[in-house]
Structure 1
Amino acid sequence: MTVPARIQRRRTKGWRLPVNAVIVSRPSRWGNLCKVALMEEMGYDDPHAAAADNFRLWLAGSRSDAPNDEADQRRERILTDLHLLRGKDLACTCPPGRACHGDYLIYRANMPAAELDAWIATVRERVNRQRIAAHDKPLYAPA
């Protein structure tokens, strides 16, 4: 089995998504909520890296930049279906060699199944603790 890779999605005539690849760019269900342009406006030296890091923190359960039900439910949809990306190449518009949230999706999706399940359980606990601290209803029932 080959190691999954991130490929650059093109919008040029004749470009086709390779077999065994999944689009993870912004408008997709796997897209990064954090915009590179916003990171650029905020003055980050490497806005791609800042946006990718923001996604990593958000997917790991941080609610600091998006403390709302919509973001929590979107995170849950990604966590629930992350296993579907296992073994797939991921296509995003980010240029090769630049930081991309797709790199993190590849890393997490291809973890051993038991390790991925444990990580997802930890993320869900983290989200619940933050929701309770913010006087919101927990998203997940206690185990």
Structure 2
Amino acid sequence: MSNERAASTVRAGGPRRVQLHRTRGWRKPPGVVVVARPSRWGNPFRLSGPDRVVDTLGDEPVVITCSRGASRATAVAMFRAALRDGELPFDGATVVAELSGHDLACWCPLLDADGAPVPCHADVLLEVANAGRPR
């Protein structure tokens, strides 16, 4: 992804998700907030293979088996539930106060090989932070 394409993700149509890159010359666009691990906004539910998610919130890791190809979606669903249920170190009001109006960056790909959107916890943060704002 070129710098031009990355910069185009920051547009007047509302906050969007930006994919972080390690490619030479790539820079995070101005005003984008990184929500990947190890930031405070990172999803604590880690993908641990193509068919398992490990809940790392508690003292003991809990492995949850899910159908193949649904691992990322399950991790995002778990993040959404944890935010809703107050199990994260921040709440919805904090998300709104600190992330509203900002584009959010994570390492998750934006699209899969077929061009379909890839689920990411940043999408949940965008929804909560910008509830009522056009996206």
User: Percent identity between the aligned chains?
Assistant: 37
Pick from 90, 101, 105 the counterpart of residue 75 of structure 1: 90
Matching of residue 90 in structure 1 with residue 104 in structure 2 = yes
Partners in 1 of 2:90 and 2:51 — Cα distance?
24
Is the Cα–Cα contact under 8 Å of residues 39 and 50 in structure 1 kept in the other structure? no
Q: Which structure would you say has the larger Rg?
A: 1
Match 2:76 to one of 52, 58, 61: 52
TM-score between both structures, scaled by the size of structure 2? 0.66
- Partner deviation per Cα, 1:17-63 (whole Å, 9 max, x = no partner): 11121101121110001002267333433111000000000000165
Gaps in structure 2 of 5+ consecutive residues: 1-11, 53-64, 111-116
Displacement, 1:7? Answer: 1.1
Q: 1:79 to 1:29 in 2, by over 3 A?
A: farther
**Higher strand fraction: Structure 1 or Structure 2?**
2
Shift of 1:4: 0.7
CA RMSD of aligned residues (A): 2.3
Count residues with an aligned counterpart. 103
Following the alignment from structure 1 to structure 2, what is the Cα–Cα distance between the partners of residues 82 and 105? 9
With the length of structure 1 as denominator, give the TM-score of the two structures. Answer: 0.63
User: Given the alignment of the two structures, is residue 8 of structure 1 paired with residue 31 of structure 2, yes or no?
Assistant: no
Q: Residues 32 and 104 of structure 2 are in contact (CA less than 8 Å); yes or no, is this contact kept in structure 1?
A: yes
The structure with the largest helix share of the pair is 1
Residue type at the aligned position of 1:61 = D
Structure 1: tracts of 5 or more residues without a match: 64-70, 114-143
